[in-house]
Amino acid sequence: MFLNPRPCFDDISLYWLSISSGVKITQQGFYFYNTPVTHSTETYACPRTLGALCNHTASNTVFLPCTSQPLIPVADVPPPFDRFWKWESRCSKSPSLSTEYDVTLCDLQRGTALLWSEGTLSVQYETEMPYWPNMLMMLIVVWLVVNLGESIALIMEVDGSKAQNHCTAFLCIALVITLIVCTPEGVWVTSEERILYWFVIVYIILYSLYHIKNTNTVNVIVGSLVLVSSRLYQTHETPYIGALLFLVSSRFVQKIAFSEWSKLIHSSIEEGWFMWVRVCFMALDIALFVLCYLYAFETSVGDPLKSQLYIIGLLFPSVCLGGVVGVYAKQRNARLAAARDSKG
């Protein structure tokens, strides 16, 4: 469950903390987990305390309190917490009259995160993408978004649309390599996050190989956008997961409506083999949809019943759109084939 940035732990934050197995805190907000959390860095005892997340008694550090915000000299705080006070002046804190040191959301610099679970706390630094790899990733994403429109035009067989499958596949592989190299182990803190992360990577690689022959690149682009958005938010619960699930389901229904299923049995060896490969990739699409729903969409909603209602509402228009596009493309191909036969 994701909550937008909040100043401290009170009201709704306390409620979600009480029913969660852990929480990850960044400048983007609070991420509450309902599955076991794994710390990738050194942990420190930090028991829960009133009016804050927890209190690390060894360093007199209080994390995300709902009270005053004292200014603390860096030298007074032991590592690794001393790095929180490098730019203390911008947080508008007042001098401390006690020995307690407060860490607020303002102290969490870009790329820094707190991970708390079962009375233990760990600090993650430098979790953001480096500048140049991030620029490369953004340029690739721009290409992919533009090519997504081109791929939809190919499905509709719009005049002038051109296949860019080989270039797109190459860029998707480059994107995967960049993200693997620039993603620290601690970004994914649950087994579900790691499963979905590596599944999406395998999904992109397999589809990139598939596009040596197949010209439509909707699925590999959607998989790449799932991966990029998850990396930027450092969680799979992103604002874009619903729209990406809509594209996956629409494309899946379009494949069903467009495919010539008779070729699975009554066809040449090459055509039959390609159809079986197509069926395997459709099964891969189903797996992506299910994993994204379970590990990203459902958890972001919080209420299982609401998530089921939302996904039904999402599937209805995607099924209608995919079915209409698939039938239209199939009928147009049939008409063109009939016209060619009549001329021959």
Q: What is the DSSP string of 56-86?
A: ETTTTEEES-SS--EE--GGGS-TTGGGGGT
Q: Which residue segment(s) compose the domain that 316 sits in?
A: 131-343
Residue 146 and residue 120 in one domain = no
The pLDDT tens digits of the residues spanning 146-157 come to 888 888 887 776
The pLDDT tens digits of the residues spanning 175-223 come to 999 999 998 878 899 999 999 999 999 999 999 998 888 888 889 999 9
Q: To the nearest whole percent, how much of the chain has pLDDT over 70? A: 82
Residue 94 and residue 224 in one domain = no
pTM: 0.87
Residues 6+ apart with CB under 8 A from 22: 32, 33, 36, 37, 115, 116, 117, 118, 189
Q: Is 163 within 8 Å of 155 (Cβ atoms)?
A: no
Domain boundary among 74, 108, 124: 124
Residue 275 and residue 171 in one domain = yes
Residue 82 and residue 158 in one domain = no
Angle made by CA atoms 4, 37, 245, in degrees to the nearest 5 = 55
* pLDDT surpasses 70 at 253: yes
Residue 314 and residue 210 in one domain = yes
Domain boundary among 105, 124, 143: 124
Residue 114 and residue 180 in one domain = no
Residue 51 and residue 170 in one domain = no
Residue 200 and residue 302 in one domain = yes
Residue 200 and residue 304 in one domain = yes
* pLDDT surpasses 90 at 127: no
Indicate the SS3 state at residue 26.
strand
Domains in the chain, number: 2
The pLDDT tens digits of the residues spanning 12-60 come to 888 888 888 899 988 778 888 888 898 888 889 999 888 888 888 888 8
Residue 192 and residue 287 in one domain = yes
Residue 144 and residue 231 in one domain = yes
Determine the average pLDDT of the residues in 159-167.
78
Domain boundary among 106, 124, 142: 124
Q: How confident is the model at residue 160 (pLDDT cuts 50, 70, 90)?
A: low
Nearest to 217 by CA among 181, 182, 178, 247: 247
